[in-house]
Structure 1
Amino acid sequence: MKIAFLGLGHMGLPMARNLQAAGHDVIGFDVMPAAREAAVAVGVPLAESGTDAATDADVVITMFPAGKHVIEAYEGGLLAAARPGTLFIESSTIAVDEAQAAHAMAIAAGHRNIDAPVSGGVVGAENATLAFMVGASDDDFAAALPLLEAMGKRIVHCGGPGLGQAAKVCNNMILAVSQIVVGEAFVLGERLGLSHDALYDVAANASGQCWALTTNCPVPGPVPTSPANRDYQPGFAGALMAKDLGLALQAIDQTSTDARMGRLAQEIYAAFAAGSGGGRDFSGIITDIRDGQV
């Protein structure tokens, strides 16, 4: 297939390269000069603009920072530039209502559209092991599946339009709360005289076991591949977790859900991102816990 991949940042560029490796004809674009330079350096050809990239594409994949960028691109000529029946795959993490609005716009313009946000971070993007949460009709999901399988390891059809984003926002709320309490537990253990290795060996093999512990352990040592061993280089940055929790808070308010832990996690990560944590991995929240800033 001929694929226009728009948004060639830390996640988008390796995803585009994996599509190339699977034999697809990929042309990319990004508004940031540094991203364009990185794409050229690894052999991803570039169009002059997003609309130029979409003109002859069978599929248009967008990986943008926020929902407003998706809506602006759709309204700004992206849908009009594409051939009728083009499949739009929206892989940014955006609000559920924004995903549904983007879907309606694409359908009205004579195209197909699915929301397919991802989980797995930069490592997952590089290794083609991402998880995709997909909101789509059965037919559109089937059409997109071979492309998603070229970029990811687990692809889940979550329901109709917008429900991929719904799954993503719920999953990240779980992750954020888990990462906070794992950090709290390690700080408490430190102050009680418990070694990191001892606590990890107990919790990783008991009822405290979770991804935030066994993959993203917030202290150096027990999990050598965790960001804690790289001075909390992301990974998944604190600013992105704060953004995703803002989407969760929006959904909580829209649905009148009593989600006190989700609300508290949003407050904690908003403060972390506004301070030193915006560009650090979100597991670095443990440093604010130690300093009493949470």
Structure 2
Amino acid sequence: MKIAFIGLGNMGSGMAANLVKNGHEVAAFDLSADALETAQANGIATYGTVREAVEGMDAVVSMLPNGDIVKSVYTGSVIGHAPRSAVLIDCSTIDVETCRTVIAKATDAGHDMVDAPVSGGIAAANGGTLTFMVGGTQEACERARPVLEAMGKAVIRAGDAGAGQAAKICNNMLLGIQMIGTCEAFKLAERLGLDAQNFYDIASVSSGQCWSMTSYCPVPGVGPQSPSDNDYDGGFATNLMLKDLRLAMAAAKSAESATPMGERAKELFEDHDADGNGGKDFSSIIRRL
């Protein structure tokens, strides 16, 4: 397939490269000259505008920072410029309302479009092992599936337009809460005289085990390799977790759903970010405890 990729940041760069590895012809756009240079080294054609990149494509994939940018890119440069036959796939994490607005505009213009936010982080983006949570009509999701499968290990339809975003923000709210709880448990264990490795060996096979412990342990040298073993560099940045928690809290307010643990997690990550840790992996919040 001929695929346009818009947004070659930490996630998008690896995702676009995996499309090439899986035999697709990729044209890309990004505002960063360095990102475009890296893309070219990965066998990706680069263009100076979004409109040029999407011309004649079978699919358009985007990975962009926020809802305002997604709306601007699609309404200003993709819809009406990409072929009507092109399936549109937004992998950004944005608010549900903006997502549904953009998909409605694309549908009115004759496009199939899905929201397909991801779980897995930079390593999974580079390794092609992302999980995609997809929202859209059954037909649109099936058209998007071959593109998404070239970048990930799992493609799951969550429901209609916006359902992918809903699943993503609920998942990441749970992850943020879970990580703080894991960090609290390790710090309490330490102060009670337990060795971190011994506590891990016990909790990882007991009722307290969770992904934040067994796959992404916040304690250096314990469990599988994780950002904690690299001074909390790489992985999923604190400022991105905070973005997702803010989206979750806005959605909770709109849905009139009580999320006291989510709200407290947001507050703790806000404090952690304000202290200059925005670029560090979110598991570095253990340093605040």
Q: TM-score range by the shorter chain?
A: over 0.9
Q: What does residue 223 of structure 1 align with?
A: 223
Residues in 2 aligned to 1:87 and 1:271: alpha-carbon distance in whole angstroms: 40
Partner SS state of residue 45, structure 2: coil
Correspondence for 1:155: 155
Q: Say yes or no: does 1:233 pair with 2:247.
A: no
Instruction: Answer yes or no: is 1:53 the counterpart of 2:60.
Output: no
For residues 38 and 10 of structure 1, what CA distance do their matches in structure 2 show? 11
Q: Which amino acid aligns with 1:223?
A: G
Counterpart code for 1:2: K
CA distance, structure 2, for counterparts of residue 63 and residue 77 of structure 1: 15
Name the SS for the 2:88 alignment partner: strand
State whether structure 2 residue 114 is matched by structure 1 residue 114.
yes
Structure 2 segments unaligned to the other structure (5+ residues): none
* Comparing 72-81 and 182-191, the one that deviates more: 72-81
The separation in 2 between residues aligned to 1:219 and 1:238, in whole angstroms, is: 16
Q: Does 1:172 align with 2:172?
A: yes
Structure 2: how far apart are the matches of 1:109 and 1:139?
Answer: 16
Alignment match, 2:31:
31
Deviation at 1:285, TM superposition (A): 0.4
Alignment partner, residue 192 of structure 2: 192
Structure 1 residue 82 displacement after superposition: 1.0
Amino acid at match of 1:102: V
Q: Which residue in 2 is equivalent to 1:146? A: 146
Give the residue type in structure 1 aligned to 2:179: Q
| Corresponding position of 2:79 | 79
Alignment of 1:115-134 (within 5 A): 115-134=115-134
1:6-45 residue pairs with structure 2 within 5 A?
A: 6-45=6-45
State, as a whole percentage, how many aligned pairs show the same letter.
Answer: 45
* Maintained 8 Å contact 1:61/1:91: yes
CA RMSD of aligned residues (A): 1.0
**Equivalent-residue separation in structure 2 for 1:160 and 1:234 (angstroms):** 33
Deviation, 1:155, is: 1.1
Runs of 4+ in 1 over 2 A off after TM superposition: 40-43
What do the CA deviations read for 1:267-286 (whole angstroms, capped 9, x no partner)?
Answer: 11122122222000000000
Q: 2:53 corresponds to which letter in structure 1?
A: A
Which residues of structure 1 form unaligned runs of 5+?
A: 290-294
TM-score, scaled relative to structure 1: 0.96
Shift of 1:224: 4.1
Deviation at 1:232, TM superposition (A): 0.2
